[in-house]
Amino acid sequence: MRNLELKIFHNNKILVLATLILSIFFVVAILSYSGIIASNWYQQVGGSYDSPNIKNIFGTDIFGRSVLAKLIKGTETAISIGFVVSSIAIIIGLSLGLISGYFGGIIDEFIVWLYTTIASIPNIILLIAFTFILEKGIMSVYIALAMTRWVEICRLIRAEVIKQKSKDYIQASIAIGASHFRRIFYHILPNVIHIAIIQFSLVFQVSIKSEVILSYLGLGEQNQPSWGLMINDAKVEIIRGVWWQLVFATIAMFLIVLSFNIVSDALRDFLDPKLRNK
């Protein structure tokens, strides 16, 4: 297993680069969260709309605040959204998927009805509705995204559990008198967990994109820098030739989303037994 892992990295320089980029983003987010860097992002460090220069390499915004510091703080917002939303979505999706697929019957019907209903509503409308109900801010973005992102995970897990349930090793565990709990968590879960891991990385990057869209629309984070807000500000700045907020926030978003896609693909290749055997 370890050799296989290393082999994947050796044969795939792009994956190494993507992993490195993601690691940098994670480190930056952790340092920002712990207040080691960009804690004074709100302080004036230059004139209004200074273009990138030696002192402020990413330039300044309307209030003379460093765009680099805002970008770092925006990374913290993005990573925290990705992490919290993916975690909640995985917990909900995995639990409901396991219960639904394993027990079947009326429980399965109810859970299928629930996720079908949520899936039938366009995602962005649902997100906007959630943020209106819960008041705007980072907390409502967490909840709104988590409430919409568990559906796909649940659907995939449920299907896999139904498949695993009929396999011989489960029949054998029933024969030796294993409890439901043991069958689900000791036997089935290890065989479906790869789906959850792949989905975690996919939900992570989709959540970051959704947060940027929500903040851009004025429905997300309002009190702390966010890449979406920086892109939104650029709507009135571009006309004055102020391009730096837009460009740097877009590059940051592009890099993180691309890196996550590459890593997700590699994870799927690595963890999915069907693809691994090919």
Partner 1 sequence: MKNFKILLGTLIISTLLILYVKKNRTSNNIKKEKVLRNVVSSKVKTFDPTRSNDIYCARQIAKIYDTLLEYDYLERPFKLKPSLLEEMPEISEDQLTYTFKLKKGILFHRDECFENDKQRELQAKDVIYTLKRMADVKTMSNSYGYIQNRIKGLDEWRRKYKDGNADYDEKIEGLQELDKYSFRIKLKSPFSEILNIFVLPGYSIISKIAYQKYKEDLAKHPVGTGPFYIKEFNPQSNEIIYYKNPDFRDEYFPTHGAAEYQEMIDKYGGKKMPFVDKIITKIIVEESPKWLKFNNNEIDYMNITCHSNLKNILDETSTDLKEEYKAKGLDLLVAIGQSTNFFCFNNIHPLFKDNINLRRAMNLAFDRETYKNLFFTKIDKNAQSIIPPGLSGYDYNYKNEFCEYNLKKAKEYIIKSGYYNKKIPVITLETGTSIKDRQKAEFLKKCMREIGIEIKIQTNTWPAIANKINKKEYMMTKMGWYADYNSGKPFLDTFYGHNEAQGLNYTYFNNEEYNQIFEKTAFMRNMKDKDRAFQKLNRIIGDSLPVLFLFHTAHYIIKKSKVKNYLYVTFIYGNEKYVDVVS
- Site residues (vs partner 1, CB under 8 A): 42, 48, 62-63, 135-137, 218, 222-223, 229, 232-233, 235-240
The token pair at 88 is 């909640």
Q: How far is the CB of 229 from partner 1 (least distance, A)?
A: 8
Q: How far is the CB of 57 from partner 1 (least distance, A)?
A: 22
Going by C-alpha positions, the residue among 172, 169, 129, 167 that lies closest to residue 147 is 129
Give dist(CA 161, CA 257) in Å, integer: 30
Ramachandran class of 108: left when φ > 0, alpha when ψ lies in -120 to 50, beta otherwise: alpha
- Dmax over Cα atoms in the chain, in whole Å? 75
Nearer to partner 1 among residue 50 and residue 237 (C-beta): 237
Residue with tokens 């892109």: 231
SS3 state of residue 205:
helix
Nearer to partner 1 among residue 133 and residue 236 (C-beta): 236
Nearer to partner 1 among residue 160 and residue 237 (C-beta): 237
Q: How far is the CB of 102 from partner 1 (least distance, A)?
A: 44
Q: How far is the CB of 215 from partner 1 (least distance, A)?
A: 10
Nearer to partner 1 among residue 63 and residue 113 (C-beta): 63
Element (H, E) at 140: helix 138-165
